[in-house]
Amino acid sequence: MISSVFSWLGDGANWSGPDGITHRLVQHLEYSFGALVFVLIIGIPLGLYIGHTGKGGVAIAGVANALRALPTFGLLLYLVIAYSGNLPTDWIYLGPALFVLVVLGVPAVLSNTYAGVQNVDPAARDAARGMGMTGMQVLWRVEVPNALPLIISGIRSSLLQIVATATIAAYVTLGGLGRFMIDGLSQRDYAQMAGGAVLVGLLAVALDLVMAVIQRYVVSRGITGRYALPAASADVVAAESSVSV
């Protein structure tokens, strides 16, 4: 079983052509990042607004959680059936597929972004304002840099969910790595089916690693604690004395 999966993956013929792994991988990335772009466009500004102003947090948290409960697959089928007549030909399947991936991805980004901003040390925020930063300066110079670890981890989990779920695009005649799973199932070609699943898993892990590296470089060392200099120790605690005889 496992060896047949490897031989399917190892067969160069399976990698080339319009039905090949390479092309499907590119398609999968297109769906995933296409959806992610919309997720970021919606989730980040909304999250920053809620976190910065403290307004609408409860309402948005409720909506986000409700979205999480929507069954992605069911929603996809419903949208295709309900709207296929109203969409331009190219978007009959792509539109609903992207839409459900966006619905899937927004909650994690949105809630992590506003939680990240809200959790910024109130004293730092107060000091920033008190020193004369405008609202926007407080947001971009203090709140966002300090919220980055949470914001990025929201993006990471959102991306993982999207990459894993983008396989359903194949169910509505689209491409992507889901193609191998669905075709493999209908053709009883279990090597192809399992190979597709392995590829999705590997892709998810690879993308998460890339995100981890990005996180490492964009988050301040003052927050991650990876200091270049040795941490405070005896030499730092000096200069304290009291007078007595």
Partner 1 sequence: MIKFESVVKKYPDGTVAVNGLDLVAPSGKITVFVGPSGCGKTTSLRMINRMIEPTSGTIWLDDQDTGKVDASTLRRGIGYVIQHAGLFPHRTIVDNVATVPLLLGRDKKKARSQAIELMERVGLPASFAKRYPAQLSGGQQQRVGVARALAADPPVMLMDEPFSAVDPVVRAELQDEFLRLQSELGKTIIFVTHDIDEAVKLGDQVAVLKVGGTLAQLASPATLLTDPVDDFVAGFVGRDRGYRALGFESGQLDPDTEQTVKLGDDAAAVGRAARDGWSLAVDDARRPLGWVRAAALAEGKQVTPELLHRGGTLAPVSGSLRGALDAALSSPAGRGVLIDDNGALVGTVTASEVVQRIESQLAGRRNGSDG
Separation of alpha carbons 9 and 190, rounded Å: 12
Of residues 141 through 200, those in contact with partner 1 by CB under 8 A are 141-142, 145-146
Separation of alpha carbons 7 and 42, rounded Å: 42
Of residues 32, 31, 9, 17, the one with CA closest to residue 193: 9
Separation of alpha carbons 124 and 99, rounded Å: 38
Give the C-alpha distances (Å, rounded to integers) separating 65 from 12, 58, 60, 69, 106.
44, 11, 8, 7, 10
Q: Judged by CB under 8 A, does residue 133 bind partner 1?
A: yes
Figure out which of the listed residues 130, 186, 188, 234 binds partner 1, where binding follows CB under 8 A: 130
Which residues lie below 8 Å from residue 16, measured CB to CB, with a gap of 6+? 22
Q: Judged by CB under 8 A, does residue 131 bind partner 1?
A: yes
Number of residues lying near partner 1 (CB under 8 A): 38
Q: Judged by CB under 8 A, does residue 234 bind partner 1?
A: no
Q: Judged by CB under 8 A, does residue 217 bind partner 1?
A: no
SS3 state at 111: helix
Q: Report residue 179 as tokens.
A: 């193609």
Figure out which of the listed residues 127, 185, 202, 209 binds partner 1, where binding follows CB under 8 A: 127
Figure out which of the listed residues 124, 209, 212, 214 binds partner 1, where binding follows CB under 8 A: 124
Figure out which of the listed residues 1, 2, 69, 231 binds partner 1, where binding follows CB under 8 A: 231
Q: Judged by CB under 8 A, does residue 137 bind partner 1?
A: yes
Question: Stretches 45-53, 71-79, 87-95, 226-234: which one binds partner 1 (CB under 8 A)?
Answer: 226-234
- Residues of this chain that interact with partner 1 (CB under 8 A) are 121, 123-134, 137, 141-142, 145-146, 219-223, 225, 227-229, 231-232, 236-237, 239-245
